[in-house]
Amino acid sequence: MTNTCATVKYDQFNQPEERGFDMATKFSEWTKKLGQQHFAMADGTSRTLCGMPMLGNNYARDLYDEDKTPCTTCAERMDFIVTGELVD
């Protein structure tokens, strides 16, 4: 079981060091009990990138990556933050 942020799910995030920043310090994973995977800025904000409040327990470390379903809105916003480009 691993807690790898988004590097396993999205190919564009596989080599974050080539873009000049460390993903682990930029984003934090917030996964709900049924596997809904969200991401937030790692600055201590209490909302995910899609605006969902981070309430209750975080199951990011308790679930396998294959049991998680990434939030598409969080993924799109994370991609924009990383690349600076909007995806159609």
- Whether 69 is covered by a domain: the verdict is yes
pTM of this prediction? 0.67
**Which portions of the chain are predicted below pLDDT 70?**
1-25, 86-88
pLDDT at res. 62:
94
By the 10 Å C-beta count (0-12 exposed, 13-18 middle, 19+ buried), 35 is classed as: middle
- Whether 45 is covered by a domain: the verdict is yes
User: Which residues span the domain enclosing 40?
Assistant: 22-83
Strand partners, 47: 53
pLDDT at res. 88:
59
- Whether 79 is covered by a domain: the verdict is yes
- Whether 15 is covered by a domain: the verdict is no
Listed residue (77, 22, 24, 68) closest to 47, CA to CA: 77
- Whether 61 is covered by a domain: the verdict is yes
Counted domains in the chain: 1
- Whether 12 is covered by a domain: the verdict is no
pLDDT at res. 7:
39
- Whether 74 is covered by a domain: the verdict is yes
- Whether 51 is covered by a domain: the verdict is yes
